[in-house]
Amino acid sequence: IKKQQQDVLGFLEANKIEFEEKDIAANEENRKWMRENVPEESRPASGNPLPPRLFNDSRYLGDYDAFFEARENNAVYAFLGLTAPPGSKVGEHLSQ
């Protein structure tokens, strides 16, 4: 989990994408918010959803696997619901 979190944070920081990190280990309110905002179909069969989970405000975007796939397809900005900056190597369109 820690490695995946560092991977996401490192990518966001390297690409100067603004984000807010919410610590669910030390903050019960953040943990409750995440549980309530991860859609039913994206929850594990048992237990609670594990981090990292990505949101744009309160809109659920996906988990680490979805982020990783978007990154591999050069579609992170589209995945995040953002417009890619001009000249960005990370494209705006998701591959079908």
29-66 tens-digit pLDDT? 999 999 999 999 999 999 889 999 999 999 999 999 99
66-85 tens-digit pLDDT? 999 999 999 999 999 999 88
Residue with tokens 């048992």: 46
Asked whether residue 86 is assigned to any structural domain, the reply reads no
Contact (CB, 8 A) for 2 and 8:
no
Please give the full DSSP string across the chain, using - where no structure is assigned.
Answer: -HHHHHHHHHHHHHTT-------SSS-HHHHHHHHHHS-GGGS-SSSPPPSPEEEETTEEEEEHHHHHHHHHTT-HHHHHT-PPPTT-SS-SS---
d(CA 80, CA 66): 10
Asked whether residue 38 is assigned to any structural domain, the reply reads yes
The token pair that represents 50 in the structure block: 């594990």
Task: List the domain range (segments joined by +) for residue 34.
Answer: 1-80
Asked whether residue 94 is assigned to any structural domain, the reply reads no
- What are the distances in angstroms from CA 79 to CA 30, 45, 71? 22, 24, 9
Asked whether residue 91 is assigned to any structural domain, the reply reads no
Asked whether residue 40 is assigned to any structural domain, the reply reads yes
| Mean predicted confidence (pLDDT) in 17-40 | 94
Asked whether residue 19 is assigned to any structural domain, the reply reads yes
* pTM, to two decimals: 0.85
- pLDDT over threshold 80, residue 93: no
Asked whether residue 92 is assigned to any structural domain, the reply reads no
Say how many domains are in the chain: 1
Total residues found in the chain within this entry: 96
Asked whether residue 96 is assigned to any structural domain, the reply reads no
* CATH number of 8's domain: 3.40.30.10
